[in-house]
A and B are shown apart, each in its own frame.
Chain A
Amino acid sequence: MIYFLMGVGLTIIFGMMNFVNFAHGVLYTLGAYFCFQFITMTDNFWVGLLVTPFAVGAFAYLLERVLIRRLYKLDHAVQILITIGVMLVIREAILIIWGTVPKPVSTPDLLKGVMVFGDFVYPQYRLFIVAATSLIAVALWYLLEKTKFGIQVRAGSENPKMVSLLGINTERLFAITFVLGVALAGIAGALLTPIRGADAFAGLEALGIAFVVVVIGGMGSFTGALIGGLIVGLVQSFTAIIWPEGANVMIYSVMAAIILLRPNGLFGRA
C-alpha cells in the first residue's frame, strides 16, 4: 500500500501537468526527515505525522513558484535533468542539516504490538500503514472524482488549454496539484520512518519504486497507481519468500515486461 502512496503523487503530477518529477524520491526523503524533526521537537509521533505533509507541501509550493512552473512547457528530457538537479540540491541540503547518519524513529507505543490472525502474525504498525493509506486513497478518490477541484484537475489533464479558456486559473490549479502530489510523497516518507528511519540516500530507491508503480499502472492513472502499487507489493513479497535477493530483479523485470506488452501501462491513456 505504501508503494501506492509513493506512486500516486507522481502520477497525479504527471497526469495533470504532464510533468516528470525526478525529485519525487528526495521529497519523500524530506518527508521522513521533517517527520523525524517534528517528533524530536514535540516528542509526539502523531504531531510529526500530521504536520509533515503540510510542511512538505509548503516546501513544494515554494519550489513550484520559484522553479517548477518554468518547466511545464519544456521537453520531458529537460524536466528530468532539471529535477535531477533539484534532487541533488535537496539531498545535499538534507545531509548538511541532519548529517550523514540516518535518523531512527521509534514506533509509537500504541502500535508496538503484533496482531495475530490464526497462525498469521502481523506487526500492528504495518496494519496501521495499510489502514492509513487506504483512508488516504479513499479521500483522494473522493477529491478527484467527486469535488469541483477534482473535476478541474481531471479536465486539466485532458486539455489544459481548454480548461484555461473556460476561465479556470490553471496556474493556480497546477500549483495546488504539485503541492498535493509532493505532500503525498511526504506522507509516504513520514509513515515509513518508524520502519526505515530517515535516510538521505533512500530517495533514489524510492524514486525507482515510485516510477515502477506508476509505469506499471500507466502514467497519470489513479487506479493504475493503486493496482501498480499492489502488483509491486505482491511481487516483492512473493519473491522475498522464494528468492529474497531477487526481489528487485523481479520488480524491474515485471515493469519491463509490462511496458513492452502494454505500451501505456495497465490503465494508461495513449
Chain B
Amino acid sequence: MSANQPIYIHLLLTAVIAAVLPIVLPSYVLATEILIFAMAAIGCNLLLGYTGLLSFGQALFFGAGAYAAGLLSIHYNLGLVPTILASILTGAVLAVIVGFFAIRRKGIYFVMLTLAFAQLGYYVAFLAEPITGGEDGLLDVVRPTFTIPFVTEFKFATDTSFYILTSIVFVLIFVAMQRLVDSPLGSVLKAIKQNEARAEAIGYQVKLYKIAVFAFSGAVTAVAGTFYATMLRFAPLSNIDIETSEVILFMCVLGGLGSLYGSVFGAIIFLVATDILADLWPRWMLLLGLLLIIVMLYLPGGLSEATQKAISKLRGSDIKKEGSHA
C-alpha cells in the first residue's frame, strides 16, 4: 500500500474482523485461537516480513509468555494487566537476548542460532520440572481477572467473555504494531530488508534496529503465548518445540510477508483448514506441506499480496514485482 492508512481505519477493520469471526465460525474457542495465533504470526512477520530476518525460534517467546502467565497466575494471581505486562516484559527481554546474539550472524547461521536458542529453551523447560511441570506441562493455569475497584470484577470464565477479552487485546496489539511498521522506525526496518548494506551506509545502526524489532516480536509473541495458556488453562511443553515455531512461521508466510492483515488471514486460513481437515483426514498435514510449497513457489508474497495484485490488475495499474525475495 502506498500511503499509510490512518489509525482509526485499522482500528475499525480489526474490530470488524474480531466481531465477524465468531459469527461465521462454529465456536468461540476456534475464534479465540485464531486471534491468538494471529498475534503470534504478526510477531513473526515483524521479523521476517518487515526486516527480512527468518527466525526459527518464535516458539521460545510463545512458550515463555505461556509459562510466565501460568506461573504468575498460579502463584501470585496478580490480575490481568500485571500478568500481560509481565509476559510482555519476559518476551521482550528474552527476544533481546536471542536477538543480541543471533543478529551477529547472517543467513543460515542466523536461522540456526534462533533455532538453537529455542531448542535450549525447550530442554531447559523440560528439565525444570518442579517449576514448569516438565513433559506434563504446567497444569491448572488460572485465568487472571480484571477488577474495576468498587464496581465489578471480570472473571472471563466463559468462552464468550474470554473471546471478547482476547479480541480487545488483539485489536490493540494489531493497531500498535501497524503504527510501528508505519512509523519512521518501520521504514528503517524495510530499508534493512531491501538492502542492509545501504541502510548501514546511510548511517542507521542496523544492529540496534534489529534488536529492537526482536524485542517487539518477542513481546507480541509472548502475549499470544499468555492468552494461549490462559485459554487452555494449561501451558504444555510443546509450546516451545520446533513445530510451534513452524506453525507460526507457516501462518505468517501463508498470509503474506510484510502485511499484518496477511498474518491475520494466514492464521484464519491455517486454523480453519486445520479444524475442518483434522476431522476428515488425520494426515492433513500432507496437504499443508503441499500448500506451503505452492505458496512459496508461485505466490511469494502470500495470499494477501496475491489478492492485492489481482485488485490492482483489475484497476489496470502496474505493480513492480518485489516479493520474489521474501
Residues of chain A touching chain B, judged by Cβ–Cβ distance below 8 Å, are 14, 20, 67, 70, 74-78, 80-82, 84-89, 91-93, 95-96, 204, 208, 211-212, 215, 219, 245-246, 248-249, 252-253, 255-256, 259-260, 263-264
- The 8 Å CB contact of A77, one of B54, B105, B112, B290, is B54
> In chain B between 1 and 59, which residues have their CB closer than 8 angstroms to a CB of chain A?
48, 52, 54
Residues of B close to A81: CB separation below 8 A: 249, 253, 292, 296
Secondary structure of the B contact surface, majority rule: helix
Say yes or no: B119 contacts A208, CB within 8 Å: yes
Residues of chain B touching chain A, judged by Cβ–Cβ distance below 8 Å, are 48, 52, 54, 101, 104-105, 107-109, 111-113, 115-117, 119-120, 123-124, 126-127, 242-243, 246, 249-250, 253, 283, 285-286, 288-293, 296-297, 300, 325-326
Secondary structure of the A contact surface, majority rule: helix
- The 8 Å CB contact of A259, one of B112, B246, B249, is B112
Say yes or no: A88 contacts B292, CB within 8 Å: yes
Say yes or no: B107 contacts A76, CB within 8 Å: yes
- Alpha-carbon separation in the docked complex, A95 to B283 (Å): 8
Say yes or no: A211 contacts B112, CB within 8 Å: yes
Say yes or no: B286 contacts A89, CB within 8 Å: yes
Please list the 3 inter-chain residue pairs (A to B) with the smallest Cβ-Cβ separation, ordered nearest first.
Answer: A88-B289, A85-B292, A92-B286
What's the minimum C-beta distance from B107 to chain A, rounded to whole angstroms? Answer: 5
Known: A96-B283, A215-B112, A252-B123. A260 touches B101 (CB 8 A): yes
- Alpha-carbon separation in the docked complex, A219 to B109 (Å): 9
Residues of B close to A92: CB separation below 8 A: 283, 285-286, 289
- Alpha-carbon separation in the docked complex, A76 to B108 (Å): 7
Residues of B close to A85: CB separation below 8 A: 288-293, 296
What are 16 of the A-B contact pairs (CB < 8 Å)? A67-B293, A75-B326, A77-B48, A78-B296, A78-B326, A80-B54, A81-B253, A82-B293, A84-B289, A85-B291, A89-B293, A211-B112, A215-B108, A255-B116, A256-B120, A260-B101
Say yes or no: A211 contacts B283, CB within 8 Å: no
Say yes or no: A249 contacts B120, CB within 8 Å: yes
Say yes or no: A259 contacts B105, CB within 8 Å: yes
Say yes or no: A20 contacts B289, CB within 8 Å: no
Residues of A close to B290: CB separation below 8 A: 85, 89
Residues of B close to A215: CB separation below 8 A: 108-109, 112
- The 8 Å CB contact of A78, one of B250, B283, B300, is B300
- Alpha-carbon separation in the docked complex, A203 to B119 (Å): 15
Known: A81-B253, A82-B293, A93-B286. A248 touches B326 (CB 8 A): no
Residues of A close to B109: CB separation below 8 A: 215, 219, 259, 263-264
Known: A78-B296, A88-B286. A252 touches B107 (CB 8 A): no
Known: A77-B54, A215-B109. A246 touches B288 (CB 8 A): no
